[in-house]
């Protein structure tokens, strides 16, 4: 191990961009449970999924045996426009905290989508293009995923139709304009362009929508248009697979300097960024080669891992999607309106859910004012305005670093800085004006939506 001075930012060369994604399921003794057909409760087969997803992506979704999936050259080329992303040594934050801990973060925000979402968007657009499709449909909440997909589709000349949760469509006109600049067609959801949208509009007049509802509309649109498929930005195993470029690059950069993290921290909504960051480390843990503390951080207002149940559940409000086994708060759960930013999905990646269930990973939840306090502290010394989502990880990284200050331990902490907060300034404004509040659902609140999880033999026992 060389004693080189570690730079502020470790950049790998473009030739060091991973040549394959790492499929952590191959190394898991307890595999994540398969997706089920919501009608028959039987594992879904390739053919059943073909009307919804691209063929190659279904293969990736169902593949829990091959540890490495080669990254096509055309995707690696696109990656070169914004990857390798920097692994940053947070010297300024360490100095500010006065901690003996060594803090690193993998920064995925240096691209126009502003987040890690582009890693999977370009892969999904590529496979759609290779299959000769005309376009793809999707949903977006805060807008990162829709932006990333618009960029990827523009690159390959694919039509991109985005159902954007209506309240975001109205409150985040700038996100909408970025997508339009990249040529995407953006529709506020629920809309009158789908049957499920019309039904929800009729049942709940004036509703401002939800992610689950937008998913249902996007799936319906894809399956009713010739040459279209549906794509999703999180939760699915294929998405987590694509996001492993984050963890593979982070590990390669640390290895270069002989650094091994003690604690790895990431925010968790659907789980794809966290899963992507931790997969290579989790793999070593699964193979008994090394041990790491892995911490998933979720918002106290949407606590699927820390307060949900491990069961098969619907992925969307309209119940048109497969059932997935995951930690869930129930598909009808909608976080309080005061909740800022993403991380508002009711469920969690089935890979991470299984890992958590098997004790391979910890989870903790944090309240949003504490999250923004950490975001501000980080921004002022590290010079990057972080996304509210990413700031959940910053909060816990700071807390762990402060524990080291108390104990005098010099632990190495790695966290995922998934994106920038340039489109979240309404939330920063609320924090700056001290009008931001916290909200923790009561047990009763959670019981209401958890009780709606489907009951069938073997589920929710």
Q: Smallest distance, Å, CB 290 to its own copies?
A: 29
Q: By CB under 8 A, is residue 425 in contact with its own copies?
A: yes
Q: What is the CA radius of gyration of the chain?
A: 21
Q: Smallest distance, Å, CB 379 to its own copies?
A: 6
Closer Cβ to its own copies, 134 or 380, answer by number: 380
The burial class, CB within 10 Å (0-12 / 13-18 / 19+), for 118 is buried
What would the DSSP string read from start to end of 389-440? HHHHHHHHHHHHHHHHHHHT---EEEEEE-BB-TT-HHHHHHHHTT------
Segment contacting its own copies by CB under 8 A, of 27-35, 52-60, 174-182, 303-311: 174-182
Q: By CB under 8 A, is residue 174 in contact with its own copies?
A: yes
Q: By CB under 8 A, is residue 14 in contact with its own copies?
A: yes
Q: By CB under 8 A, is residue 290 in contact with its own copies?
A: no
Q: By CB under 8 A, is residue 356 in contact with its own copies?
A: no
Closer Cβ to its own copies, 19 or 291, answer by number: 19
Give the integer Cα–Cα distance in Å for 386 and 390: 6
Q: Smallest distance, Å, CB 177 to its own copies?
A: 4
Segment contacting its own copies by CB under 8 A, of 180-188, 205-213, 352-360, 445-453: 180-188
Q: By CB under 8 A, is residue 182 in contact with its own copies?
A: yes
Q: By CB under 8 A, is residue 206 in contact with its own copies?
A: no
The burial class, CB within 10 Å (0-12 / 13-18 / 19+), for 452 is middle
Both tokens of residue 20? Answer: 């394959």
Give the integer Cα–Cα distance in Å for 235 and 74: 25
Q: Which residues contact 99 (CB under 8 A, 6 or more apart)?
A: 401, 402, 404, 405
Of the candidate residues 74, 376, 438, 445, the single one contacting its own copies (CB under 8 A)? 376
Q: By CB under 8 A, is residue 177 in contact with its own copies?
A: yes
CB 239 within 8 A of CB 388: no
Closer Cβ to its own copies, 377 or 445, answer by number: 377
Q: Smallest distance, Å, CB 422 to its own copies?
A: 5
Q: By CB under 8 A, is residue 451 in contact with its own copies?
A: no
Closer Cβ to its own copies, 79 or 333, answer by number: 79
Q: By CB under 8 A, is residue 252 in contact with its own copies?
A: no
CB 162 within 8 A of CB 188: no
Q: What are residue 363's DSSP bridge partners?
A: 296
How far is residue 323 CA from its own chain's centroid?
Answer: 19
Closer Cβ to its own copies, 45 or 110, answer by number: 110
> How many positions of this chain bind its own copies (CB under 8 A)?
43
Closer Cβ to its own copies, 81 or 202, answer by number: 81
Question: Which of the residues 113 through 172 are near its own copies (CB under 8 A)?
Answer: 114, 151, 154-155
Q: By CB under 8 A, is residue 30 in contact with its own copies?
A: no
CB 240 within 8 A of CB 207: no
Segment contacting its own copies by CB under 8 A, of 2-10, 60-68, 125-133, 230-238: 2-10
Give the integer Cα–Cα distance in Å for 175 and 168: 9
First to last CA, the chain: 51
For residue 369, give the nearest of 316, 432, 417, 309 by alpha carbon.
Answer: 432
Q: Smallest distance, Å, CB 30 to its own copies?
A: 39
Count the residues in the chain: 461
Q: By CB under 8 A, is residue 81 in contact with its own copies?
A: yes
Which chain residues interact with its own copies by CB under 8 A? 7-9, 11, 13-14, 78, 80-82, 92, 110-112, 114, 151, 154-155, 173-174, 177-178, 180-183, 376, 379-385, 420, 422-423, 425-426, 428-429, 431-432
């Amino acid at each position: 191990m060389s004693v080189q001075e570690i730079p502020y930012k470790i950049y790998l060369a473009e030739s060091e961009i991973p040549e394959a994604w790492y499929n952590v399921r191959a190394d898991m003794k307890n595999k994540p449970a398969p997706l089920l057909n919501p009608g028959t409760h039987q594992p879904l087969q390739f053919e059943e999924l073909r009307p919804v997803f691209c063929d190659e992506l279904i293969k990736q979704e169902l593949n829990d045996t091959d540890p490495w999936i080669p990254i096509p050259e055309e995707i690696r080329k696109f990656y070169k426009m914004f990857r390798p992303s920097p692994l940053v040594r947070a010297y300024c934050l360490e100095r500010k905290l006065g901690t003996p801990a060594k803090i690193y973060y993998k920064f995925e925000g240096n691209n126009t989508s502003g987040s890690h979402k582009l890693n999977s968007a370009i892969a999904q657009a590529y496979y759609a293009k290779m299959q000769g499709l005309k376009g793809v449909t999707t949903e977006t909440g805060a807008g990162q995923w829709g932006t990333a997909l618009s960029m990827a589709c523009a690159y390959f000349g694919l039509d991109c139709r985005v159902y954007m949760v209506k309240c975001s469509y109205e409150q985040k006109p700038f996100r909408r304009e970025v997508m339009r600049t990249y040529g995407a067609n953006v529709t506020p959801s629920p809309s009158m362009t789908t049957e499920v949208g019309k039904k929800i509009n009729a049942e709940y007049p004036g509703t401002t929508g939800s992610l689950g509802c937008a998913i249902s509309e996007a799936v319906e649109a894809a399956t009713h248009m010739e040459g279209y498929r549906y794509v999703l930005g999180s939760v699915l195993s294929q998405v987590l697979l694509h996001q492993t470029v984050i963890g593979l690059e982070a590990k390669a950069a640390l290895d270069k300097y002989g650094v091994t993290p003690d604690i790895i921290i990431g925010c968790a909504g659907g789980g794809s960024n966290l899963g992507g960051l931790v997969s290579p480390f989790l793999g070593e843990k699964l193979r008994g080669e090394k041990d790491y503390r892995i911490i998933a951080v979720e918002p106290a207002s949407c606590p699927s891992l820390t307060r949900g149940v491990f069961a098969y559940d619907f992925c969307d409000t309209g119940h048109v999607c497969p059932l997935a086994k995951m930690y869930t708060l129930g598909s009808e759960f909608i976080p309080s309106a005061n909740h800022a930013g993403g991380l508002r999905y009711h469920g969690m990646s089935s890979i991470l859910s299984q890992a958590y269930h098997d004790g391979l990973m910890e989870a903790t939840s944090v309240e949003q004012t504490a999250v923004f306090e950490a975001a501000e502290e980080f921004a002022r010394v590290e010079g990057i305005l972080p996304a509210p989502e990413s700031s959940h990880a910053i909060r816990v990284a700071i807390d762990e670093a402060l524990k080291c200050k108390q104990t005098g331990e010099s632990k190495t902490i790695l966290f995922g800085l998934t994106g920038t907060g340039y489109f979240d300034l309404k939330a920063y404004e609320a924090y700056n004006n001290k009008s931001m509040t916290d909200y923790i659902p009561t047990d009763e609140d959670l019981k209401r939506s958890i009780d709606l999880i489907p009951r069938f033999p073997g589920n929710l026992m």
